[in-house]
Amino acid sequence: MATCSADVQTFFGVLLDYTLVLASRPKPAFSAIASLVPHLIALVKMNPITAAAHFIGKVTLMQKNLSRGLARGATRLDSKTYPGAPELVILRLIGSIWSTSDFSHPVVAPSILLMGQYLSHGRIRQTSDVASGLMLCSLLVQVRLSFS
């Protein structure tokens, strides 16, 4: 049984990474991503602690990338200070999988703080930054509505 659990944990990580690959394409495959979401949710329910570790790792990497982009200079075009489609997919998945009404949740709380950091420190340099910022605002509004 332990190896089956380890296999499921590994499969979850692979499926999550594949979802990000689909989102990284020049034209993201959102319909394929949407078809994978129920399976990701089911796997999270099977082993939430391992799934949380996978998501925390992704959020931590996103924060490091943001810090690196800000250190280069927020106004430089090669400094990535707004999330791309893969990062937005991760943040959306977090909001879909876990309850966002808990500000001390080990996955939700860091992701909310990261979204705030993107919005407060990132600089708009192109149209995609505006779209990314609007998506972040939408995700934060959804978080806020869960408290009402």
Burial of 45 (0-12, 13-18, 19+ CB in 10 A): exposed
In the block, residue with structure tokens 């192109």: 126
Mean pLDDT of 9-16: 93
Closest CA to 132 of 109, 115, 110: 115
Residues present in the chain in total: 148
One-letter amino acid at 60 equals T
Phi–psi pair at 98, nearest 5 degrees: -110, 155
Give the HSE-up count for residue 11: Cα atoms under 13 Å, Cβ half-sphere. 15
78-104 pLDDT tens trace = 778 899 999 999 999 998 898 877 778
Say whether pLDDT at 8 is over 90: no
The DSSP secondary-structure symbol of 99 reads -
Closest CA to 56 of 113, 141, 116, 138: 113
Give the H/E segment covering residue 129.
helix 127-145
Binning pLDDT at 50, 70 and 90, where does residue 126 land?
A: confident
One-letter amino acid at 98 equals W
Domain count, the chain: 1
13-62 pLDDT tens trace = 999 999 999 999 999 999 999 999 999 999 999 999 999 999 999 999 99
Its domain, for residue 83, covers 2-145
Token duo for residue 75: 């106004």
Sequence-ordered list of residues with C-beta below 8 angstroms from that of 21, at least 6 positions apart, any chain: none
Say whether pLDDT at 76 is over 50: yes
In the block, residue with structure tokens 């080990």: 106
Name the pTM for this structure. 0.90
The DSSP secondary-structure symbol of 76 reads S
| Rg from Cα positions in the chain | 16
